[in-house]
Amino acid sequence: MSFKTITAAAIAAVMATGAVADENPAIEQRQGQFKLYSHNIAVLGGMAQGRMDYDAGMAQTAADNLFHVTRHDQSRLWPEGTDSSASMATRAKPEIWENLDDFVAKFVALQNAAEALQAVAGDGLDAMRAGVGPLSGTCQACHESYREEAS
């Protein structure tokens, strides 16, 4: 196969990921990012709250993951018109787009908290806890302002 054929086939295959018809694919793409947050916060939060034994390697891996996932640029994941007034598939409040500077600042706070957590996650339970607290706070700050209650 030529380069072009390989690329076209591979891209078509990658894109065929079950997007809901008529929904902007950015909605499920950004939700994918949140699912990766959950995957890692389950470990870090579980250890911080004593529901799991602290394991330095697992904690560090989860924090490394969060660091990388929070480096993903947000600019194409939140197009206008993908709010909860336009789509049942999202809990993103329209207020996001009325306060974009604040929304971006809250995301930067998450990035900074993830970077700080990455630096300490493997250094023992107390050190990890001291990093998980601020990270959780950045999640909550954004959810309180910009996420609809679960129905």
* Binding of residue 33 to a copy of itself (CB under 8 A): yes
Helix (H, G, I), strand (E, B) or coil at 92: strand
CA 57: distance to chain centroid?
A: 21
Contacts of 45 (CB under 8 A, 6+ apart): 132, 136
Q: Does residue 125 contact residue 133 with C-beta atoms inside 8 Å?
A: no
* Binding of residue 8 to a copy of itself (CB under 8 A): yes
Minimum distance from CB of 67 to a copy of itself (Å)?
8
* Binding of residue 49 to a copy of itself (CB under 8 A): yes
Nearest-5° Cα angle at 106, 37 to 113: 55
* Binding of residue 80 to a copy of itself (CB under 8 A): no
22/38 with CB nearer a copy of itself: 38
Find the binder of a copy of itself among 23, 32, 52, 115 (CB under 8 A): 32
Task: Tell me which residues in 104-133 interact with a copy of itself (CB under 8 A).
Answer: 129, 132-133
35/81 with CB nearer a copy of itself: 35
67/52 Cα distance (integer angstroms): 21
Minimum distance from CB of 33 to a copy of itself (Å)?
6
Find the binder of a copy of itself among 20, 68, 98, 100 (CB under 8 A): 68
Nearest to 42 by CA among 21, 56, 59, 57: 59
Burial pattern 110-131, b for ≥16 Cβ within 10 A else e, equals bbebbbbbbebbbeeeebbbeb
Residue numbers at the binding site for a copy of itself (CB under 8 A): 3-4, 6-11, 13-17, 25-26, 28-29, 31-39, 41-43, 45, 48-49, 61, 64-65, 68-69, 71-73, 75-77, 129, 132-133, 136-137, 139-140, 143, 147, 150
